[in-house]
Every structure is written in structure tokens, then in C-alpha cells.
Amino acid sequence: MQENVLSMSSYEKYSEHNNLQRIRNIGISAHIDSGKTTLTERILFYTGRIDEMHEVKGKDNVGAVMDSMELERQRGITIQSAATYTLWKQHNINIIDTPGHVDFTVEVERALRVLDGAVLVLCAVGGVQSQTLTVNRQMKRYNVPCIAFINKLDRQGANPTRVLSQLRSKLAHNAAFLQLPIGLESSTTGIVDLVCRKALYFEGVFGEVVREDEVPATMRLECEERRQELIEHVSNVDDTLGELFLGEITLLGELFLEEKTPTESDLKAAIRRSCLRRMFTPVLLGTALKNKGVQPLLDAVLDYLPNPGEVNNFALREIGREETEKVVLDSARDGRAPFLGLAFKLEAGRYGQLTYLRCYQGVLRKGDNIFNTRTSKKVRIARLVRLHSSEMEDVSEVYSGDIFALFGVDCASGDTFVTDPKLNLSMESIFVPDPVVSMSINPANSKDRDNFSKAVARFTKEDPTFQFFYDDDNKETIRMEREYGCPVILGKPKVSFRETLTSPCTFDFLHKKQSGGSGQFARVTGILEPLPAHQNTQLEFVDETIGTNIPKQFIPGIEKGFRLMAQKGLLSGHKLSGLKFRLLDGAHHIVDSSELAFNLATQGAIKQVFENGNWQILEPVMAVEVTAPEEFQGAIIGHLNKRHGILTGTDGNDGWFTLYAE
């Protein structure tokens, strides 16, 4: 039996809005160089979305469709998440290809926030690697069901069985093979489908013809053993699930206990139920580069990953100042519910700012007005586009479950848009960890300051992990050079020291300026003393005056003067910290005293303490929390000791450990 894959896709049909059951929003995530972009390229080719395939770093220098940035094609890596859509067996599939480098983790985070399912790509040689662990944590955070695809079966040293055991041990997945390889490394010829007990061979120039055949005689015993293992793994979780939710459906667990053999449809239904609840991970095999195993993966996306209606999406409604309630969104594609969408990514395109959105509820049409719930700004929709990497296709309307883009919308990542502002709803934003590394950056030439400012403003808006500020401590401020023609000088990270007193120091300062007319008169008396060690990052101001020697309206001026002088210390010019300013007494003049006079008197008092006090420089200590697999504990402790770190505690759980150090 032969099946010509390319005939299954027609883009005339795509403009018809399929019902909810025929839509899949998926992401392709993995460790670097596991073959995500190559796999996406094959998917687009087999579904008829592109006419020819190009390798990520091929000899033709064209590069993969999904790597549209010049830097991506040059390096052969994915930097930004690229969105596309395609059609497979009358199902619309929206695909986001994400980066594997740890540097671009936020791109994966943004993609998973708006997806319903994911394909976790693993290398048959490398197996579960560091970034695989990060991606797995992100999928868990957003409760995204996934199927695993073990790629690169053609590589020397490929061992899918070892990768499966790592999936179970390192990622704690209840996983089992749905397929077995027919040969490995250079002798890979096809795969065996354990669910329907058939061998699949990929023929034609580009593997576009899938031929079904009998399972090879030499593999029949292993096929039955692995199928039985699959049934056991699924029945362990499907039994409980069925009793709770699916009273009428034939349960795989019951069939297994009664020693009946489940049918192909029973097994598929049970795998789907278990996968949707993240209780089971189906494992598929193939080699995208050699055009094997991609079409069955597409079938598995339809069979086992959820449609938008099978995922509960929530918005938050404010009911008090700090209280919110969760509201379940209506995923129906009938357009009756009011529109609600989330902006999950911003990009500067050829025609201005491009904003990627996911529609969670209702319908949005060209010409509609939408409101940003954060800023309350109204935006009229002049153009709606669907994306295919860097190319765009105009559409007149989008429905719940669609991923699309808008032009000229002023917003930030994580903003919620609605057509009815009275809804008072907003989506939870994307989880973004705080930055841990800061560096100074300067334009190499003063004439480039305009481009420098534009680039910084754009990156700050596009990338939630990029934070920019002018550092008063250090007086200073890759893609800038490439996209804005602005070469920059990247400085070494500088240490922000602090200055403090070692012992209390008294002050008594009179500020007097009387030369006819309204003058200035103020006197401040008190003590500047160090705070306890646990408060050495703080500044405190305490008014301990009794009586009316200093009228209360002048106290804010004294505090302002103290905090102004704390911006620059005596020894190195760094900020003061860990100090308590105790105002004990003073004097004022009925006419000449003012808030400004007391401000200046306080500045004079601090200068007095600079001269008379015992000052020292404080070096910052970073509190570090390191989480890693147990086998690396010794190496990490060694690295921390080498950096003069002091261990303050340890913790361990499920093959992982956490170190706390300073």
C-alpha cells in the first residue's frame, strides 16, 4: 500500500476556518543541534507548504525556511522562535520552531505559553542534555502535553533504547516506544509501528512515499514484547483516569487485567487520554535529515496532541485591590464570545513593529477596534496576517485557537488585548527570570548615539529578559552593529561597591547665609551610625527631635539632603549604605529658615562626617542557588570553592540537588 503524502495538502482549503477538533498549535523544542529546524523543514515539505527543502547549513547557502535572520543562516542555529502554519489530512497545524541555545531560553518560554502541545526532539546519540531539562521544566510549568521524537537514527552511535531510559530516569516521564527502528546508523531503512503492527518504509527521491509492509520476521518477537510494554505503561495511568472521568469508554487497564488484547483504536484512544493529562509520553523515532519517520510524527500530532478545545485556558479578573479570580475562557470558534488575545512576541519587521498574538476566545476581524488591558489604549486593526517564517499572508478574520500577527500595535510582551474593555480580563504573563549578568555598553562613535538609543529601546520592548538602565555608579551605559550599523564597545562587568561607617559619628552643623533680605539659616545635630550586618544594604532616617527647634515641615528637606549625599561616598565615589541618620536636635530662624536651608545644612553635616568618621568599602556578596543533576554535585562544589564561595546549605530530590552558597 502506498500513500503519496504531497497530495494531502492544499492551500486553497486553508482559508476555510476548520472546526476546533481540526486545529493543533504545537512547538518543536529541544537541546541545541537535535535537529528541530531540519525536522520543521521536512514537515513543511511533506505537507506541501514549501516546494523544496534546504539544509540548515547546506552547500547551497540558502538555509532553512524557518531561519530567516541573516545571523541564523550564517551560524546555522535558531535564535528567534519562528511561526508557520500548514495543513495535514484536513487539520490546520500552527508550528513554532524554537531555539535550543540556553541564551535564547525566553524564546522557548514565550512559545510554550501560547501552545497546546509540543514535540520534544531528542538526539539518538546525545539523548537527554542540559537544555532538554530546561525545556522539560518549561513544559511542566505551562502544563503542555508532549510527544517525544528521537531524531538522528542515522548517526554513528545512535541508541534510542538508552535515550528512552534517560527520558524515564532524568525527566521522570512515563514513556514507551510507539515505534521501533528497522536498522540503525547507516543501515536505517524504516520503522515498525507498534500500535498497528506494520513496517513503514519511506521511498521516492525525498522519502515522500510511505509504503506499508509486514513486520520483518527477525523483529516480530521484539515487536510483540515492546507492544506489551507499551500497553503496560499506558494501562498503569489510563485505569485511574478512566474510573474518574470516562465511565462509558473502554478502559485499557480493565482490558489488560482481563488479559484481553486491546484493539488498535482502543490503544490509540488510551494513549491520547493519557498524553493529554501528561501522564504518558509517546516516543517516536526517525531521521529528519534522511527523510524517515516524519509523516508518522505528523499523524501522531493529530492523534495524540490536544486541540485548543481540550485545553483549559484561564484569564484573571480583578475583584479587589490585590485579589483576582480565574475565569475559564470559551474556546469555541463560533465567534459568540468577545475576543481575547495575548501578545507573546514582538519583532521589528520591514513594515514596522510586528506583534505575534494567540487568540484565546472569540473572533477578530479586519477593521475591529481592540483595547490593551494594561494601557487602556484603543487600536484599530488595519491588517491581519498569518506567518510563514519571515513571509506573511493576509487574512480577513481569526478565530479562537489561531496564531496571527498585527502591525503597528504599541505594546509589550505579555500584554492582553480585548474588544470589550468592560470584561476587565487579562492573561497571566510569561515567566521571565531576573537577569544575573550585567555589562556596560557604549556606542563606539558618538555619532551612533541615535542608532544606539533606537536599538536599546527596541530590544527592551521585544525581549523581556533584556533590561537597560543608566548606571550612576559606573557612569556607563551584537545585533546592534548588524541591524543598526552601530558598532558598540562591550565593557567588562564592574563591581558596584558600597561605603559605610565602622563606628557612630556625631555631627553638629550650622548653615547660615544672611546678607540682607531673606537669608538662609538652619542647624542640624545628630548621629550617623552603622546599621546591623543584616541591614547593610539599607539607609534609614529617624527623626528623634523633641519640641519645636526644627519645625516638622522642614524634616523632609533634611531627609532629602541625607539621601542626596548618600549617592556618592568619600573613599571611592560609590553609594553609601548600611547607615542610620539620627536627627537629635537643631535650630531655626523665624524668617530665614526654609526646607532648602535645612537640605543644605544636612549636606554640610554629612561632609563633616566624611572628615571625622571611620569609613570602609563594602564588597557585594551574591547569594547563589544552583540546581543540577546529582552526578555533577562534586564538580559544582569544586567550582564554587575555586570562586571563594561559602556553602550555606544543600537540598536534594528525585536525582537532583540544590546548593545554596554565598
pLDDT at 574: 81
Residue 61 has pLDDT above 60, yes or no: no
Which of 241 and 645 is assigned the larger pLDDT? 645
Task: Report the range out of 1-5, 256-260, 570-574 with the highest average pLDDT.
Answer: 570-574
- pLDDT, one tens digit per residue, over 361-393 is 888 888 888 888 888 888 888 888 887 655 678
Which of 443 and 207 is assigned the larger pLDDT? 207
pLDDT at 525: 92
> With bands split at pLDDT 50, 70 and 90, how would you rate the model's confidence at 516?
low
pLDDT at 111: 62
- The whole-angstrom separation of Cα 234 and Cα 227 is 11
- pLDDT, one tens digit per residue, over 209-243 is 888 889 888 988 998 899 888 888 888 887 643 34
Residue 282 has pLDDT above 90, yes or no: yes
Task: Report the range out of 454-463, 492-501, 553-562, 612-621 with the highest average pLDDT.
Answer: 553-562
Which of 574 and 503 is assigned the larger pLDDT? 503
Domains belonging to the chain, first-starting first, are: 2-310 (3.40.50.300), 314-426 (2.40.30.10), 445-490 (no CATH), 498-618 (3.30.230.10), 624-661 (no CATH)
pLDDT at 641: 87
pLDDT at 324: 75
pLDDT at 464: 57
Residue 26 has pLDDT above 80, yes or no: yes
Q: What is the mean pLDDT of residues 421-435?
A: 67
pLDDT at 491: 61
CA dihedral 371, 376, 377, 379 (to 10 degrees): 0
- The whole-angstrom separation of Cα 116 and Cα 92 is 13
What's the helix, strand, coil split of the chain in %, to 5?
30, 30, 40
DSSP string, 315-348: EEEE-SSS-EEEEE----TTS-SPPEEEEEEEEE
- The whole-angstrom separation of Cα 277 and Cα 237 is 10
> With bands split at pLDDT 50, 70 and 90, how would you rate the model's confidence at 284?
very high
> With bands split at pLDDT 50, 70 and 90, how would you rate the model's confidence at 538?
confident
Average pLDDT of the chain is: 77
- 30 Cβ neighbours under 8 A, 6+ residues apart: 36, 100, 120, 121, 122, 123, 131, 132, 135
pLDDT at 430: 54
Residue 540 backbone zone (phi > 0: left; psi -120 to 50: alpha; other: beta) = beta
Q: Is 76 helix (H, G, I), strand (E, B) or coil?
A: coil
- 585 Cβ neighbours under 8 A, 6+ residues apart: 525, 526, 545, 549, 550
Residue 324 backbone zone (phi > 0: left; psi -120 to 50: alpha; other: beta) = beta
pLDDT at 460: 62
pLDDT at 241: 38
